[in-house]
Amino acid sequence: MNTYRALVLTKDEAGVHAALQTQEESQLPEGDVTVDIAWSTVNYKDGLAITGKAPVVRSYPMVPGIDFVGTVTASQHADWQVGDRVILNGWGVGEGHPGGFAQKARVNGDWLVALPETMNERDAMIIGTAGYTAMLCVLALEAQGVTPDQGEILVTGASGGVGSIAVMLLAGRGFTVVASTGRLAETDYLKSLGASEVIDRHTLSEPGKPLAKMRWAGAVDTVGSHTLANVLASTQYGGSVAACGLAQGMDLPATVAPFILRSVKLIGVDSVTVPRPQRERAWACLAKELDANKLHSVATEIPLSGVIDCAEKIIAGQVRGRTVVNVNHGCSDERLSAGTE
């Protein structure tokens, strides 16, 4: 098709606005690989971009969406041929380069990885950046020598996308997983994913002591701020914490006590500019380790026209698990607004 549908963000004095638009292929940006997108997914960062709650988008107009999966339709890159099925996560796509909430994309081929042969496109976007980040966190803990026999592993923000898949991955590797969430109504859901215990996030989210009773052999933190500080304060001697999110805040009101008195290790996990070999390893592990039935249980499917409403909900903490976007359905001409002051 010479035209395609895309969700486009614009900004004026009234705030950020989003609309479904028809665009010409000639409007695609520079890049050496063109992809027909099949599925995308809504991440917390996408919610920030669409609602304007944080300055995620670097230029306007912009097609948001930091993830997509699809089929190569044109390539001038040595690694990719027409017909290849590919995944993109990060690299500033949806922020400074038009992203995945569209039926077509043109990108730098260095940003792509091959869709694992045993994985279908929809499942790849149930995983998306959230699940891929969760896998990077698990691999980071493993690299620090964290093993199931050392004790409990905490996952904060466990009802969210990263948290849900982190619970699944860790439980699948034999860890005893404790899930922290602000939605205790999701207890059965989290236990179905493999959590052995579910705790209220408020036990961690308030200002705490520099050191607390040691409990966690390791942790995956998606929250930041006081939560991360309290997790560090209660991590066992020699334990490790993989930090990948800032849902509570970007600050870290902690002391050096856990690091110098208990040899706790804080590992920052980036998912945006990770080199391709690490990406390929993470996706290979995801394809091998995730239980398809559990994966499907965390997914909600929406059309492209449903993305704006979902963005509002994900920022409000009202989205459980993962939301996948079928970009080839729900592409009406109705203008939609995500007005933010």
pTM over 0.75: yes
23 occurs within a structural domain: yes
pLDDT score of 23 more than 70: yes
Give the per-residue pLDDT at 54: 85
Same domain, 177 and 258: yes
pLDDT digits (tens, 9 = 90+) for 184-236: 999 999 999 999 999 999 999 999 999 999 999 999 999 999 999 999 999 99
pLDDT in tens, 268-301: 999 999 999 999 999 999 999 998 888 998 899 9
The structure tokens 């509002």 sit at 312
Statement to judge: residues 146 and 260 lie in one domain: yes
93 and 146 in a common domain: no
Same domain, 156 and 93: no
pLDDT at 332 over 60: no
Last residue of a domain, one of 246, 268, 290: 268
Average pLDDT over every residue of 8-19: 92
Query: Over the stretch 227-262, which tens digit does the pLDDT of each residue have?
Result: 999 999 999 999 999 999 998 999 999 999 999 999
Indicate the number of domains in the chain: 2
Q: What is the extent of the structural domain holding 59?
A: 3-115+298-326
> What is the Cα–Cα distance from 110 to 121, expressed in whole angstroms?
20
Q: Report how far residue 307's alpha carbon sits from residue 333's, in angstroms, rounded to the nearest whole number.
A: 14
Residue 279 falls within a domain, yes or no? no
DSSP sequence for 213-234? ---EEEEEESSBHHHHHHHHHT
Q: Does 111 share its domain with 133?
A: no
Asked which of 228, 246, 268 is the last residue of a domain, the reply is: 268
Is residue 172 a part of any domain in this protein?
A: yes
- Check whether residue 217 and residue 305 sit in a common domain: no
Q: Please tell me whether residues 108 and 172 are part of one structural domain.
A: no
Kindly state whether residues 139 and 263 are assigned to the same domain.
yes
Q: Strands, DSSP E only, in 26-163?
A: 33-41, 67-75, 85-89, 104-107, 112-114, 152-155
**Both 53 and 13 in a single domain?**
yes
Name residue, tokens 């579910």.
198
Write the CATH number for 304.
3.90.180.10
Residue 109 included in any domain: yes
CATH number assigned to the domain comprising residue 149: 3.40.50.720
Q: Is 291 among the domain residues?
A: no
Model confidence at 78: pLDDT above 80 = yes
